[in-house]
Amino acid sequence: MRLPVGAYASILHRASGILFLPVVAAGLVLWRTARTSRAGFHAVGSALTSPAAHILGPLAVWVAAQHLFGGIRYLLLDSDIGFGRARSRSTAAIVIAAALVAAGIAGWLWP
C-alpha cells in the first residue's frame, strides 16, 4: 500500500509520541541516579558509553526530534502556515529528514 509522505509523517508523529514516555522516564531515572552519589554518577557514565547506549541514545534523540518537529509542523498547519498539497508534502519530508539528521548527528557524537 502506497501512502503519501504526509501520512508517514503523521504515523511517525504518533509512534514517537507513544515512545516518548519511556524515553523521558529513562532519562529521569538516569538523571536521578547520577545525582544521588558519586558512584551513581560513574554508573550512569559507564551505562551511557555501553554498546547498547550507542543504539538506544540516537534512537531516543530520533524519538524526541521526530515528535518535536512533527508537533511544530502541526502547530504551523493549524495556523494556516504551510497549508496546501505541495507545501504540506514538502514540510512532511523536511520533518522526517530533520529527525533522521538529528539522530545521525547524535549517533556520530555519542561517546
CATH no. for residue 64? 1.20.1300.10
Q: Which residues lie below 8 Å from residue 77, measured CB to CB, with a gap of 6+?
A: 83, 88, 91
**Which pLDDT score, from 0 to 100, does residue 85 have?**
86
The tally of domains found in the chain comes to 1
Global pTM? 0.90
- Residue 80 lies in domain: 5-109
60 in Cβ contact with 107 (< 8 Å):
no
**Which pLDDT score, from 0 to 100, does residue 7 have?**
94
6 in Cβ contact with 77 (< 8 Å):
no
**Which pLDDT score, from 0 to 100, does residue 111 have?**
81
For the segment 56-66, the average pLDDT, to the nearest whole number, is 96
What is the per-residue pLDDT across 9-56, written as a single tens digit (0 to 9) for each? 999 999 999 999 999 999 999 999 999 999 999 999 999 999 999 999
C-alpha cell at 58: 540516537
Q: Which is nearest to 99 in space by CA: 72, 61, 57?
A: 61
Q: Which residues lie below 8 Å from residue 83, measured CB to CB, with a gap of 6+?
A: 77
